[in-house]
Structure 1
Amino acid sequence: MDTAPASRAGSPGEVFRAFLKLGLTAFGGPIAHLGYFRDELVVRRKWLDEAAYADLVALCQFLPGPASSQVGFALGLWRGGPLGALAAWAAFTLPSAIVLLVFAMAAAALDGALAQGVLHGLKLVAVAVVAQAVWGMARSLTPDRSRASIAVLAIAAVVLLPGAIGQLLAIAIGVAGGLWLCRDLPIPHSSAVHFPVSQRAGWIALGLFAALLVGLPVLAILLDNHGVALFDGFFRAGALVFGGGHVVLPLLEAETVTRGWLTPDAFIAGYGATQAMPGPLFTFAAYLGAASGPVPNGVLGAAIALIAIFAPGFLLLIGTLPFWNSLRRRPLAQAGMRGANAAVVGILGAALYDPVFTSAVLSPLDFALATAGFVALVAWKAPPWVVVVALASTGAVVGVLA
């Protein structure tokens, strides 16, 4: 049965105001963001009904990319057309991106025991948060022996072939394993939903996505330009994020730290700071683009990285919207995605060890603090920003006393 919006007509300005409120207050990660969107836009503003919203969430979780930002982009498109989609993205993303840009530019000047203690505390936050992500994703995405085995093979791939090549191989193993082992699992049922995107526009978006994914690495080599290389690295990372925003961590580490653009300590500290921000986790790209060593960095580097990391997910979303109602009924598509999701559990598990754990946990006290942060998140359901403040403060105290 087709669903219809409660009220589709709107303006980009209305969309911007609604999502600016969410961009300033939506703490807690992608799953929490989807709850905020439902409360504000489905229940309170009645932009669309529950069935249409559930189907949209299913589509964005099926695609690579930042699921909550893709849902927000699609809701802006639904309500205000193309300008509404851009307004939704800007309002939801820029508040935390601007704060992280300022943090990146200030972090280089931080020195002394107090500042170093805060930065070390932020690295311990990253240990707790990534451990929580691995724990939660393993329970939901690898619930049986087949998918758990795919996750182990993915770990082996990224350990034996460090960097982007190992991660691509791991995802390929996941898709192949899913097609082989996950074909008989039931396909979740959802209702149909239609967006104002033509099939022609969908094909153009998919063609542009493929052209950029293939052409950017070649262009970066031919031009030997860091700006193009920066866009290429972040575009590729955004194109390969299956299963949740935290999976972008190992992809970005391979594109920045492995290339020598950023030190491991600066990378992990920035990731810890990102946990205190509202809005999408992908705003971490603004920090990385600003803090990276070669020019362009600073404000221009942040803008390049931020646009590049979101672009593939949005292109895939636009490209898939006209075909989603037929695609979701294909068992092989669902099986391949189950395998890919299992593989990203392995990729993130490997990243939990290196670089997150190895660069942050340097003493028994560090291990105890990181474990306390993990327990606070998992058992006490503490908001991430509370853990950020607690561990950064503790790190500052320990740094001064030491």
Structure 2
Amino acid sequence: MSDEPRQGSAAEVFAVFTKLGLTSFGGPVAHLGYFRNEFVERRQWLDEPTYADLVALCQFLPGPASSQVGISIGLLRAGYLGALAAWTAFTLPSALALVAFAYGLSAFGNALASGWLHGLKVAAVAVVALAILGMARTLAPDRERASLAVLALVIALAIPSAWGQIGAIVVGGIIGVVFLKAEAPAVQTSFRLPGSRASAIIALVIFAALLAGLPVLAALTGDPDIRLVDTFYRVGSLVFGGGHVVLPLLQAEMVPPGWVGNDAFLAGYGAAQAVPGPLFTFAAYLGAVIGGWKTAVLCLVAIFLPSFLLVIGILPFWDGLRRRQRAQAALRGVNAAVVGLLLAAFYNPVWTSGILGKADFGLAAVAFLLLFLWRTPPWLVVVLCAASGELLAALP
């Protein structure tokens, strides 16, 4: 590939991410698989090392890792407008679906346990398995890094929390520096970013100022909208581990104060598992339940705003850091650890929620075959699995 990626337009980014926003079922781990297939293998907007670096960076940052990877790809491809286009297109389908669900909760309530929903979970098993296979070939190809991936898997399973994930990444970086051979930098694609390091510092200052200032402003004014913005911004700023971690935290923030009833919260939680795109769009559902579509927009923007500020603030420094030999050694360890984290997530919740019997295992095997050998488009495999899940549910 050339030293600089060919730049595109925000419209191009929006079109590609709209397709992903409509078809990316299975949660954040599956999203990374969809992104790799679309931007590394098919369109070649990024090479494998750059994509791996973005995934490693976003694993370090709080907030929705898959959305941050998408924002980063949009930023690299078409600047700030590209970042906004990527986030809007990837987020809007699921946000609209969950807002509609909030308005028609009674009509949709009986569909949450349908067979098609379970079929989507089975499809996620095949998508994630393929993503792990592809990333393991590149990021953990030798016995040292494969062993490190298994160590990260053990840490993540032994400490099933954000701390376990962070710990696995830190251990991977330390082992990379100490034990993995520091090779000459082999960066094939440059992060050509708009703006400067000064603008990155400004973004980080705004991030910190909002994190510290919104609680004070909410306490001084008592304004319910500011309280909501503070709550969702804080959750988006401090939660590691993605959507499956943020949902129980939001339950603790929303239900006891009486903003959302527990039944409505759990119904929305089920619906969030059924829609494509990032699980953080659950914020739009909660906002719609609390105050209609305007509040949904407010909550949605508040929970994703930290991701924008952090990506814009960190990426310029990340590019220089990853070019140093010791940093490259650390990244090799971190990337191997990321494979282990993907394996842990593949086991729980992807496998444990998707494979409940022999029929599920058979359907997952067929889906993997279609993806791996027949190169069937992922969206078509998702549709086939959903239809098959509904058919299996109707059988005795």
Q: Is TM > 0.5 for Structure 1 vs Structure 2?
A: yes
Aligned 8 A contact 1:129 1:374 in 2? yes
Cα shift at 1:130:
1.7
Provide the residue aligned with 1:73 in structure 2. Answer: 75
Say whether residues 1:285 and 2:280 are aligned partners.
yes
Give distance in 2, aligned partners of 1:99 and 1:295: 13
Give 1:315's aligned amino acid.
Answer: L
**Runs of 5+ in structure 1 lacking a partner?**
9-14, 43-49, 241-249, 275-280
CA distance in 1, matches of 2:366, 2:4: 47
Deviation at 1:233, TM superposition (A): 3.7
The 8 Å contact of residues 73 and 88 in structure 1, kept in 2 or not, is answered as no
Deviation at 1:330, TM superposition (A): 0.8
1:19 to 2:4 alignment: no
Equivalent in 303, 308, 311 of residue 303 of structure 2: 308
Change (3 A) 1:210 1:134: farther
Secondary structure, in 3 states, of the residue corresponding to 1:93? helix
**1:30 corresponds to:** 35
Aligned ranges for residues 111-150 of structure 1 at < 5 Å? 116-150=114-148
Q: Is the CA contact 1:122–1:270 (under 8 Å) kept in the aligned structure 2? A: no
Q: Supply the AA of the counterpart residue of 2:303.
A: A
CA distance in 2, matches of 1:101, 1:226: 18
Aligned residue among 256, 280, 283 for 2:247: 256
Q: Is 2:117–2:389's contact at 8 Å kept on the other side of the alignment? A: yes
Aligned 8 A contact 1:63 1:316 in 2: no
Q: 3-state SS of the aligned residue for 2:242?
A: helix
Amino acid at match of 1:30: F
1:354 corresponds to which of 348, 370, 373: 348
Amino acid at match of 1:392: A
Residues 193-208 of structure 1 mapped to structure 2, 5 A cutoff: 195-208=193-206
8 Å contact kept, 1:157–1:166 = yes
Q: Match of 2:369, as an amino acid?
A: V
Cα distance in 2 between the residues matched to 1:353 and 1:264: 23
Contact kept? 1:142, 1:151, Cα under 8 Å: yes
Which 10-residue stretch deviates more, 17-26 or 57-66?
Answer: 57-66
8 Å contact kept, 1:153–1:173: no
| AA in 2 matched with 1:332 | R
Q: For residues 101-134 of structure 1, what are the alpha-carbon distances to aligned partners after superposition, in whole Å with 9 as ceiling and x for unaligned?
A: 3575468743558961111111212222222222
What RMSD, in angstroms, separates the aligned Cα atoms of the two structures?
4.4
Between 148-157 and 59-68, the greater mean CA deviation after superposition: 59-68
Unaligned runs of 5+ in 2: 25-33, 59-64, 253-261
> Match for residue 384 of structure 1?
378
Aligned partner of 1:101 in structure 2 is: 98
| Count of aligned pairs between the two proteins | 358
Q: TM-score, normalised by structure 2?
A: 0.71
- 1: CA distance, partners of 2:185 / 2:124: 35
SS at match of 2:98: helix
The answer for the alignment partner of 2:177 in structure 1 is 179
The change in CA–CA distance for 1:87 and 1:397 in structure 2 (over 3 A counts) is same
Cα deviation for residue 389 of structure 1 reads 0.8
Residue 18 of structure 1, CA deviation: 3.5
**Deviation, structure 1 residue 184:** 2.2
Mapped to 2, the partners of 1:7 and 1:353 lie a distance apart of 38
Is the contact between residue 270 and residue 284 of structure 1 (CA under 8 Å) also seen in structure 2?
A: yes
What is the rounded CA distance, in whole Å, between the counterparts of 2:371 and 2:266 in structure 1? 24
**Structure 2 letter corresponding to 1:188:** A
Q: What whole-Å deviation, never above 9, does each CA across 1:215-257 have from its counterpart, x for those lacking one?
A: 999999xx9x6764543444445xx6xxxxxxxxx63223325
CA contact (8 A) 2:182 2:328 kept: no
Match of residue 344, structure 1, among 338, 342, 356: 338
1:149 and 1:55 map into 2 onto residues whose CA distance is 20
Is contact 1:148–1:342 with CA below 8 Å preserved after alignment? Answer: yes
Q: Distance in 2 between matches of 1:265 and 1:362?
A: 22
Give identity over the alignment, percent. Answer: 31
What is the SS of the residue equivalent to 2:108?
coil
